[in-house]
Amino acid sequence: MITVNGLRKRFGATTALDGMTFTVDPGRVTGFVGPNGAGKSTTMRVILGLDAADAGTALVEGRPYRALRHPLRHVGSLLDASALQPGRTARNHLLWLAHSQGLGARRVDEVLERSGLQGVARRRAGGFSLGMRQRLGIAAALLGDPPALMLDEPFNGMDPEGIIWMRGFLRGLAAEGRAVLVSSHLMGELEDTADHVVVAGRGRVIADASVAQLLAAASGDRVTLRSHSAEASAVLAEAGATVTRAGDGVLSVAGLAAGDVVAALHRRGVAFSEVSAHRASLEDAYLELTRDAVEYRWESAS
Amino acid sequence: MTAYLRALAAEWTKFRTMRGWVAAVMIAAALIVGLGLLPGLQGSCGKHGPGSECVAPVGPGGEEVTDSLTFVHQALTGDGSVTVRLTGLTGELPGEPGKPRSGLVPWAKAGLIVRGATTQGATYAAVMMTGSHGVRLQYDFVHDVAGRPGGVSADAPRWLRLTRSGDTLTAAESTDGTAWTTVGSARLSGLPATVEAGLFVTSPQHTEEVDVGLGSGAMGGPSHATGVFDRLALAGGWQGDAWKTDVIGAQVEHGGGAGGPGGAPDAPVAGGSVGPAAGRVSGAEREGDTFRLTGSGDLAPSIPGAAGVGVTITSTLVGTFAGLIVVVVLGAVFVTAEYRRGLIRTTFAAAPHRVRLLAAKATVVGGVTFVAGLVAAAVVVSLGQDVLRDNGVYLHPASTATEVRVVVGTAALLAVAAVLALAFGTVLRLGVTAITTAVVVIVMPYVLAMTVLPTAAGQWLLRVSPAAAFALQQASPAYPQVANIYTPANGYFPLAPWAGLAVLAAWAAVAFAAAAVVLRKRDA
Amino acid sequence: MIDIVRAEWTKLRTSPGTLALLVGVIVATVGVSAAASACSGTGCDADLPKLGLTGVQLGQAVVAILGVLVIGHEYGTGMVRVTLTAMPRRLHVLAAKAAVLAAVVAVAAVPAVAGAVAVSQLMLPDHNVVLRPAVGSVLYLVLVALLALGTATAFRSAAAAIGTILAVLYALPIVLAVVTDEEWRDRLRRMGPSTAGLAVQATTADAVTGPWKGLGVLALWALGALLVGAVLLHRRDA
């Protein structure tokens, strides 16, 4: 469990963190999203004791990170997969990390296997593709078998196959009861992965809610309709829908299901072509949140 | 060509948009200027009121000279000759204060001289026996013609003859007084009709290299020589006056603490100098036909260094080494930085012709360091001279041509060294290794030659290593007929200036070729 | 702390350049000493034990590379953040790096100096083996490595650090050679890390500073660099 409370940090004239507050609970994947520059990486660096916050606290299991004797046994992290010395082999990179946590070579072989790197363990890490480096970073994060994990943009540079692997992997970690924090600047990447989402903007939390809540709150279902008839708007409004013109002969209809739209138009004999139902996605909810830049938050369900 | 210019423009943009790199160039220039202007050197010229200024006599060629000797002479008008037999030449070296040792410095001189005047710096020609360089004809301070080798003693005397015919002086010598050998002749333009001619003895500063703890240094002091002459014979337009004795440039007998030229040299030496010889005193005695002259000093160009006085403009460029290290770092990092973050792949993608790219990088880093070095060297050479003079240090004036060569040479040294470091960086790819290699190859030979290694080994290093290019900073020529410690520590290098640069350029060219080959063969 | 030392040792041991650099220390020291011992002519016989240890002048450059790379390369690659994430007690990390580095350099410096002494003994048989310059040279190399580590920690850039170290080690003696003012020269020689530190090699009378006192000056430099590095490492964001 990771608790972030009222973090503030300035770099010169820029405010990086402006009261960032949230918690990462065990047993679920928490997505940490926001546009570039929202303060996601800085928050993670403060949690890991790399940067010092001007105000506020970041605690891992109730203790500041820098007070942990073997921190990788409490929280595993991956910030920058390329941050390794290229001349060292993957196995030796993990070996020194293991030694720093009082762990042995056996644990290194275990995490190599779990991240699917056993075949390349004795190759120089400098020759790895970005995807392989991500796996090596994951292996390092798992080294101490920590109850919490923190990954910064783990999907970056991964091929589709890798992304699928990563999603399953993260869900598996949460299923084991670990607290998992995953940052991304694309909400879509987290769609089928995260159970809970913290949306950040301008150094603070804009939204902190479960995925279900977010979807429900996003403006409901819409129907897109093609019709050149002038009556269409009036007919649908009469039927109780909100209609907006979305282009030449294209209408966007809210408040009526697709079937009801077709029935209403049919009853009045209005000609139309192409009706498509459109379900709100997490991406839509996120875009709406960050576009409005209005600060509001849901009461956390948990 | 346009492709090269495009690459050049790209590299220039890359360079000037990196704050650290621009700062490094500034720092290099600041170090060169700053260290040169620090008040490290102190002297006594002009520090003890009027009269203590250091003014050196100027020879006929306009160069500064040492002109001090014991001279027994009379006037000669028009053509004529003088012949003498030398039966002894002995000397005395400085030792513990008050306890001189006997010994003769290699360039102790005794013989015949014809001078335009008795004032210091007057035109002259002389035939002489030297301590260990045989018979010589020397004239107007910088010219030296070798005669036959050998020494002189009562058992093996030497006859010397000097003949004037118009502006031409001819020197001859003989071991028996009958069979004469011509040593050579000298044309002295502007020789007056009436000249002062006769016997002279002088004995230059004694110097020896000593090891003083961390650095090798030199010690020494004035030496004296005594020549015994007889069978003096004159022919031609002699005025028939009595022989007059003059000790030209006589300050030496007072202990030589003035720190300035004009008299016998005063040694600005490492490790402390030994006091003047207390035994013999300059002068002349006559017993019948035998003349016994004791002299101290030299007839030679005035030079900086252990055996001479003062310093040259080279001393203002002490900061070159510090600046060089910064420039070497810059040259290496200019390419290794690209390897570190994989930028090199982007660079190669944008400019696939890798050797052309390397050439563009070399042009940028060489050009920038050349300009910075040129400005810094010009500033420090001109301002540094005033600082040194204000500190009371005697500074040998350099001709404009020499100043320009030193300044441009310093800039060239920095620029070529930067390109060499760039080549090392390309081959080694890791900045730290490349920087250290470049510094070790360029700067360390110089350090070793100056501080630790014995002279011979040091000279060898400065011939073959890139440090040879420091010869560009030598401001004062070495004269074989002046005994001095011609070491880098004293501002003398074994190679000629441009030959030194050629050695560095050859290193850079080989390294650059290796870099080009490696770059072409290697995956990015 | 044991875990941190062990991790740093594993790191240094598995870094591909380490072995090459340690061999480089030995080759450079012995090689240059052999070349210097081959000398003949004036000045050669001034201080034979010191002449036989000339190679330390080159060996120190290689040692400085090693010292700089121990932390400088981590900054260059960004791995320092992995290190500090795994070992958030930063001062312990620096102390562990210093301990491991000192041990490794000492292990290489002993054969390097012993080899230099042996070679010069073979080539210049008429000089006595003196223990103090040899032992002092080993300590000198260790201290140069620590000076390099401290500087690189403070600078966070391997290139800037090695440039500074080499300037201090090599440019200062050159400046000294040109300074003729006795007082300034003595002052600078007593303060310069390489000039003072190498006084430990001198067996002839050297009035500037005593051998162990000179090495002490270098130790102060190394300590100072490590302290500045430690303070900055502790206070700065990684």
- Nearest-angstrom CA–CA distance, B149 and B157: 13
Interface check B464 vs C, CB under 8 A: no
Pair B386, B393: CB distance under 8 Å: no
Local confidence band at C205 (pLDDT 50, 70, 90 cut-offs): low
Phi, then psi, of B187 in degrees rounded to 5: -100, 120
Looking up tokens 């502790």, which residue turns up? C234
- Nearest-angstrom CA–CA distance, C147 and C223: 7
Which one has a higher pLDDT value, C216 or B206? C216
Q: How does pLDDT run across A122-175, given as a tens digit for each residue?
A: 998 888 888 888 889 999 999 999 999 999 988 877 788 888 888 898 999 999
Classify each residue of B181-211 as buried b or exposed e, where b means 16 or more C-beta atoms within 10 Å of its C-beta.
Answer: eebbbbebeebeeebbbbbbbbbbbbbebbb
Among the listed residues C9, C169, A156, the one whose alpha carbon sits nearest the alpha carbon of residue B439: C169
What mean pLDDT comes out for the span C137-141?
Answer: 94
Q: How does pLDDT run across A223-238, given as a tens digit for each residue?
A: 778 888 778 888 888 8
- Nearest-angstrom CA–CA distance, B8 and B16: 12
Name which of C18, C180, C182 to mutate to probe chain B: the one with the most chain B Cβ atoms within 10 A of its Cβ.
C180
To the nearest whole Å, the CA of B420 is away from the closest chain C CA by 16
Tokens at A95, concatenated: 């070996």
Among the listed residues A14, A93, A13, A23, the one whose alpha carbon sits nearest the alpha carbon of residue A57: A23
Q: How does pLDDT run across B491-505, given as a tens digit for each residue?
A: 788 888 899 999 999
What mean pLDDT comes out for the span B68-86?
Answer: 91
Judged against a pLDDT cut of 70, whether residue C214 lies above it is answered with yes
Local confidence band at B259 (pLDDT 50, 70, 90 cut-offs): very low
Q: How many CA atoms within 13 Å lie on the side-chain side of B67?
A: 28
The per-residue pLDDT for C45 is 60
The per-residue pLDDT for A301 is 38
Question: Which of A268-277, B19-28, B360-369, C212-221 bottoms out in mean pLDDT, i.e. has the lowest?
Answer: A268-277
Judged against a pLDDT cut of 80, whether residue B335 lies above it is answered with yes
The per-residue pLDDT for B520 is 82
Phi, then psi, of A103 in degrees rounded to 5: -105, 165
Judged against a pLDDT cut of 50, whether residue B270 lies above it is answered with no
Q: How does pLDDT run across B38-69, given as a tens digit for each residue?
A: 756 667 776 666 666 677 788 887 788 888 89
Q: How many CA atoms within 13 Å lie on the side-chain side of A242?
A: 6
CB contact under 8 A, A100 and C238: no
Pair B161, B172: CB distance under 8 Å: yes
| Neighbors of chain C by Cβ distance (3+ pairs < 8 Å) | A, B
Q: Rounded mean pLDDT of chain B? A: 82
Element (H, E) at A169: helix A160-175
Percent of the residues in chain B that have a pLDDT greater than 70, as a whole number = 84
Judged against a pLDDT cut of 60, whether residue B274 lies above it is answered with no
Judged against a pLDDT cut of 90, whether residue C197 lies above it is answered with no
Tokens at C67, concatenated: 């010292």
For residue C195, the chain B residues in CB contact (below 8 A) are 214
Parallel, antiparallel, or unpaired for β A148-152 and A179-184?
parallel
Pair B441, B507: CB distance under 8 Å: yes
Burial class (CB in 10 A: 0-12, 13-18, 19+), A269: exposed
The per-residue pLDDT for B251 is 55
Given A85, A99, A124, which is nearest C6 (Cβ)? A99
Terminal CA-to-CA distance of chain C, rounded, Å? Answer: 20
Q: Rounded mean pLDDT of chain A? A: 84
CB contact under 8 A, C64 and B436: yes
CB contact under 8 A, B321 and C206: no
Pair C43, B452: CB distance under 8 Å: no
Among the listed residues A35, A53, B303, the one whose alpha carbon sits nearest the alpha carbon of residue A44: A53
Q: How does pLDDT run across A47-56, given as a tens digit for each residue?
A: 999 999 999 9
Q: List all residues 6 or more positions away from B367 whose beta carbon is below 8 Å from its beta carbon.
A: B415
Interface check C170 vs B, CB under 8 A: yes
Pair B230, B101: CB distance under 8 Å: no
The per-residue pLDDT for A14 is 86
CB contact under 8 A, C202 and B318: no
Most distant CA pair in chain C, distance: 59
Given B214, B319, B430, which is nearest C208 (Cβ)? B214
- Nearest-angstrom CA–CA distance, C144 and C101: 11
Segments of B26-134 assigned E as strands: 65-67, 69-96, 99-102, 109-115, 124-130
Pair B208, B484: CB distance under 8 Å: no
- Nearest-angstrom CA–CA distance, C200 and C203: 8
For B26, other C-beta atoms within 10 Å of its C-beta total 13
Local confidence band at C179 (pLDDT 50, 70, 90 cut-offs): low
- DSSP states of A225-274: EE---TTHHHHHHHTT-EEEEEETTEEEEESS-HHHHHHHHHHHT---EE
What is residue B512's DSSP assignment?
A: H
Q: List all residues 6 or more positions away from B229 whose beta carbon is below 8 Å from its beta carbon.
A: B84, B85, B86, B87, B110, B199, B290, B291, B292, B293
CB contact under 8 A, B214 and C198: yes
CB contact under 8 A, C78 and A71: no
From residue A131, alpha-carbon distances to A77, A80, A116, A218 in Å are 16, 12, 12, 33
Judged against a pLDDT cut of 60, whether residue B275 lies above it is answered with no
Local confidence band at B473 (pLDDT 50, 70, 90 cut-offs): confident
Question: Which of B225-229, C44-48, C49-53 bottoms out in mean pLDDT, i.e. has the lowest?
Answer: C44-48
Tokens at C53, concatenated: 């240890």
Terminal CA-to-CA distance of chain B, rounded, Å? Answer: 24
Pair B129, B89: CB distance under 8 Å: yes
Given B325, B432, B489, which is nearest C177 (Cβ)? B489
The per-residue pLDDT for C93 is 94
For residue C82, the chain A residues in CB contact (below 8 A) are 83-84, 97, 140
For residue C67, the chain B residues in CB contact (below 8 A) are none
Q: List all residues 6 or more positions away from C212 whose beta carbon is below 8 Å from its beta carbon.
A: C136, C200
Nearest chain A alpha carbon to C69: A85
| Neighbors of chain A by Cβ distance (3+ pairs < 8 Å) | C
Local confidence band at B253 (pLDDT 50, 70, 90 cut-offs): very low
What mean pLDDT comes out for the span B362-377?
Answer: 95
Q: Rounded mean pLDDT of chain C? A: 86
Interface check B334 vs C, CB under 8 A: no
CB contact under 8 A, B311 and C180: yes
Among the listed residues C126, C129, C12, C130, the one whose alpha carbon sits nearest the alpha carbon of residue C69: C12
Q: How does pLDDT run across B139-164, given as a tens digit for each residue?
A: 988 899 998 888 888 888 999 999 99
The per-residue pLDDT for A112 is 93
Q: How does pLDDT run across B100-129, given as a tens digit for each residue?
A: 778 888 899 999 999 988 888 889 999 999
The per-residue pLDDT for B42 is 67
Tokens at B130, concatenated: 């030297």
Judged against a pLDDT cut of 70, whether residue B276 lies above it is answered with no
Nearest chain C alpha carbon to A48: C85
CB contact under 8 A, A83 and C87: no
CB contact under 8 A, C3 and A82: no
CB contact under 8 A, C177 and B215: yes
The per-residue pLDDT for C177 is 64
- Nearest-angstrom CA–CA distance, C175 and A6: 55
Q: How many residues does this entry show for chain C?
A: 238
Q: Which of the given ranges, A173-182, B392-401, C209-218, has the highest pLDDT on average? A: A173-182
Local confidence band at B267 (pLDDT 50, 70, 90 cut-offs): very low
The per-residue pLDDT for B510 is 95
Which one has a higher pLDDT value, A72 or A283? A72
Alpha helix ranges (H) inside A65-129: 90-100, 105-114
Judged against a pLDDT cut of 90, whether residue B17 lies above it is answered with no
CB contact under 8 A, A89 and C14: yes
**Cα dihedral C165→C168→C169→C170 (10° resolution):** 110
Most distant CA pair in chain A, distance: 78
Classify each residue of C139-170 as buried b or exposed e, where b means 16 or more C-beta atoms within 10 Å of its C-beta.
Answer: bbbbbbbbbbbbbbbbbbbbbbbbbbbbbbbb
The per-residue pLDDT for C138 is 94
Given C40, C173, C199, which is nearest B447 (Cβ)? C173
Judged against a pLDDT cut of 70, whether residue B463 lies above it is answered with yes
